[in-house]
Chains A and B, each alone.
Chain A
């Protein structure tokens, strides 16, 4: 009995040591060349945040982030291993080396920048004014004489109030759904909201799909990388630039966000 226990203990210690060696080895190697050697890139993607990442009827993850991950894999010439994460554990996955990239509608802030590195922006995420395509509005000044629906007390309410011309009207509604109803029933032709809400309207009522008029606050999504992987970061940025150039990113945006990339995205 005792011998069995000792053998077990020895075996356990040995394997811990082995893991330790592997970990220290991988920490020293360049992650980009390691991915290329491995032939697989492990990407953390969301599974509960459509249209960026959700589970389709075939039980496979699908969405903007998944398409982006596959595109990067394709460009690197490696296969993609998707790891579904939640918004709470996506950064720990990166820090503990269980994922090479986090493509999970990740926004940038100071706190996160201390923990991980970021690529350039790959997906639009913003508050803006949206509306019928036949209304000519492209800046806050153009709103003069128009009425804009907004959810009372939301960030977009405050942001819009700052830039609203004196002869424009704000119609405030109690919650997001009421604001949506006001737009869908034609009671207001313009609404201030997030681009994902506009996507949702476009999904439900394709013929009333709201068009982006201008942005109120921009906080695009970035790809997260482990600190200090400059080579991988440069390569990912290169791939994003290429996707922007050849229209791949715009196509992904039109597929999942039902809207082209906003003007000047990535510049």
Chain B
């Protein structure tokens, strides 16, 4: 009944697809968290106008489906002269998506920093930059780190949708393989297993980074 050897001729497709998913996830995670940090800081400390703009962005992205955002970027934007390749459109959609979600996660971390901690740092003579990065941001990240990790993994899993605009990611490979040999059970099972392993690996990497970044603080507490 089941025949996994039918997938062997297509293993290069799976590997290529995995590579595309890995690269997209890497860029989207780095860029998305950067966007999120900047927007969270803007929303927390900024003026009314900036807070309003960021609030609008966050609500717009968090309250519309990812696939609609993706289709809008790929099929809609060319109408006003912005033509992105499928890969660029996929990455952009992932970036703005993770950016919006991580803004809210990171903002929660910033808001949870006790005021007295900031005041103490100022009294000790740290400049505002030092206060933000060392006294506010790193403890904020430490608090929300598990939630942020999960959000990045969700975006990685959600990247499967970019196959709909012909980005040749892991899901695209599975779709193509099952349309060729009609082994849908085997193809999707194997791809699901690859996603699962990748998600577990991602969590491990995040934990490893977390242990290094928050090392001194863990010892202190």
Q: Which residues of A contact B (CB under 8 A)?
A: 149, 152-153, 157, 171-174, 178, 181-182, 185-187
Contacts and interface: CB of A to CB of B under 8 A. Distances in A.
A187 B176 contact: no
Main secondary structure, interface of A, reads: mixed
Contacts of A178: 164-165
A122 to B, nearest CB: 34
A181 B76 CA distance: 9
B166 interface: yes
Interface of B: 74-76, 78-79, 83, 86, 164-166, 172, 175-176, 179-180
Contacts of B172: 172
Main secondary structure, interface of B, reads: helix
A187 B83 contact: yes
16 contacts: A149-B166, A152-B176, A152-B179, A153-B180, A171-B166, A172-B166, A172-B175, A173-B166, A174-B164, A178-B164, A181-B75, A182-B165, A185-B78, A186-B83, A187-B78, A187-B83
Contacts of A181: 75
B79 A187 contact: no
Nearest to A161: B180
A181 B166 CA distance: 12
A187 B86 contact: yes
Contacts, number: 36
B128 to A, nearest CB: 46
A153 B75 CA distance: 21
B75 A185 contact: yes
B75 A182 contact: yes
Contacts of B176: 152, 172
Contacts of B79: 185
Contacts of A182: 75, 165-166
A172 B166 CA distance: 5
Given A171-B86, A173-B166, A187-B83, A153 B179 contact: yes
Contact of A152 (B74, B76, B175): B175
B81 to A, nearest CB: 10
A171 to B, nearest CB: 4
Contacts of A153: 179-180
Given A171-B86, A172-B166, A182-B166, A187 B179 contact: no
Contacts of A171: 86, 166
A175 B24 CA distance: 24
Nearest to B166: A171
A153 B76 CA distance: 25
Contacts of B166: 149, 171-173, 182
Contacts of A152: 175-176, 179
Contacts of A157: 179
Contacts of B74: 185, 187
Contacts of A174: 164, 175
Nearest to A178: B164
A141 B72 CA distance: 34
Nearest to B163: A174
B34 to A, nearest CB: 28
A185 B165 CA distance: 12
Contacts of A173: 164-166
A187 to B, nearest CB: 6
A186 B165 CA distance: 13
A182 B75 CA distance: 7
B159 to A, nearest CB: 16
Contacts of A185: 74-76, 78-79
Nearest to B74: A187
